[in-house]
Amino acid sequence: MTLTRVLIYGVPKRLLAACPVLFGILLVTFILMRVLPGDPASMLLSSPSAGDAELSVIRAQLGLDRSLPEQLWIYISDVAHGDFGRSHGTGQPVLTDLLERFPASLELVGLSLMVALSLALPMGIMAALRPGSIFDHIVRVICTVGVSVPTFVSGLILVYIFYFLLGWAPDPTGRLDVFMLPPPTVTGFLLIDTLLAGDGETFLAALKQLVLPTVTLALFVLAPLARVTRASMLGVLNSDFVRTARSLGLSDRKVIITYALKNAMLPVLTVSGAVISTLLSASVLVEKVFAWPGIASYAADALASGDFAPVQGFVLFMAAIYVVVNLIIDILYRVFDPRVSL
């Protein structure tokens, strides 16, 4: 089956198969938010001296005065029409908040993944070509440190060194310095919008703000990517077809890139899909450390204030992203190995 036929016939089937998964996530999230200790209506009251009348009004607005099956049915009907509820913290629809903040999170996660892959692949390949060497041991140490240090610790260390001590990094106060005006919003991605506006100064300022949070997230996922690349390359380099290619007199560069690396990419792709999920989860702490206005910090603030509509919308939104990411990874399987079926 060609890649075109895979996209035409395989993708819709995978998307339909994901619907029960999304419904199960919706159901579990809905129940968990209702069984958590505390009354959301009480947490949303602006005055601690408010009485039962005010509390009843808020419970009615939230639909908490109805039975649990009624609440679930109303929520499913609203989600089916694209209504994820309204955030009491921002006063906007949850879907609007998520779409406004998602470019900030995607910009951070996407750049972190690019940095991690650009470092992990060469490190893993070089370590596999020289097993037991000094470079191999250095890669192992970097991988061990990367998975051992939590993201908020490494983020705070980077802020202390490069902002507080050296003064090289800008204030960790979000996507742009408070004294700079953002460009007109076109895509929501600040780097792209500054380029479209032809504002080089703001582009450089936004890029500087991205450096420390990007490095923090990249260090966290660098370790699994480098380790899997090394292990996969070691297995492929010892295979028969690589020895045959070398016996035919092909150059090491061609053998490594054309034959070894292409066949070693499937495990790397598998881990990359899990790494993207890890990045989105770990970005909660990174966004808090660097005051990054992404969807993860938005959901964390909503959870702390008892505003469960944004939390439910965030979980369902992330589940849909995971489905799309896994689908893309499966399609890339087909690109690297035509024998793999979707």
Q: How many CB atoms lie within 10 A of CB 97?
A: 24
Q: Is pLDDT above 60 for 7?
A: no
Contact criterion met (CB below 8 Å) for 177 and 205: yes
Cα–Cα dist 128/138, whole Å: 13
Q: What is the mean pLDDT of the chain?
A: 79
Binned at pLDDT 50, 70 and 90, residue 23 comes out as confident
pLDDT for res 186: 84
Amino acid 270 reads: T
pLDDT for res 139: 84
- Nearest-Å Rg of the Cα atoms of the chain is 24
- Residue-wise pLDDT for 318-338, tens only, equals 888 888 887 777 777 766 665
Contact criterion met (CB below 8 Å) for 106 and 215: no
pLDDT for res 64: 67
**What average pLDDT score do residues 214-222 get?**
86
Amino acid 324 reads: V
Cα–Cα dist 170/159, whole Å: 9
Q: What are the tokens at 55?
A: 């509390």
Cα–Cα dist 66/71, whole Å: 6
Binned at pLDDT 50, 70 and 90, residue 79 comes out as confident
Q: 307 in helix, strand or coil?
A: coil
Cα atoms in the Cβ-side hemisphere of radius 13 Å centred on 103? 13
pLDDT for res 46: 55
**What average pLDDT score do residues 17-37 get?**
78
Residue with the bigger pLDDT between 271 and 103: it is 103
- Residue-wise pLDDT for 173-205, tens only, equals 888 877 778 888 888 888 888 888 888 888 888
**What average pLDDT score do residues 230-245 get?**
80
Q: What are the tokens at 98?
A: 């998520």
- pTM (2 decimals)? 0.79
pLDDT for res 49: 55
State the sign of the Cα–Cα–Cα–Cα dihedral 197, 203, 206, 210.
positive
Q: What are the tokens at 165?
A: 């001590």
Q: 303 in helix, strand or coil?
A: helix
- Residue-wise pLDDT for 38-54, tens only, equals 666 665 665 555 566 66
Q: Is pLDDT above 80 for 217?
A: yes
End-to-end Cα spacing for the chain: 10
Residue with the bigger pLDDT between 115 and 257: it is 115
Counting other chains too, the contacts that 194-201 makes at CB distance below 8 Å and 24 or more residues apart are none
Which residues have C-beta within 8 Å of that of residue 117, sequence separation ≥ 6? 225, 272
| 3-state helix vs strand vs coil in the chain, percent to 5 | 75, 0, 25
- Residue-wise pLDDT for 267-316, tens only, equals 777 777 777 777 777 778 888 888 888 888 888 888 777 778 888 888 88
What are φ and ψ of residue 164, in 5° steps?
-80, -50
Binned at pLDDT 50, 70 and 90, residue 341 comes out as low
Ranges of each domain in the chain: 17-37+63-83, 94-336
Looking at 1.10.3720.10, 2.30.42.10, 3.20.20.140, 3.40.50.12280, the CATH number of the domain 94-336 comes to 1.10.3720.10
Q: What is the dihedral of CA 253, 254, 255, 258, to 10 degrees?
A: 120
101-105, 160-164, 240-244: the lowest-pLDDT one: 240-244
pLDDT for res 63: 67
Q: What are the tokens at 227?
A: 């380790």
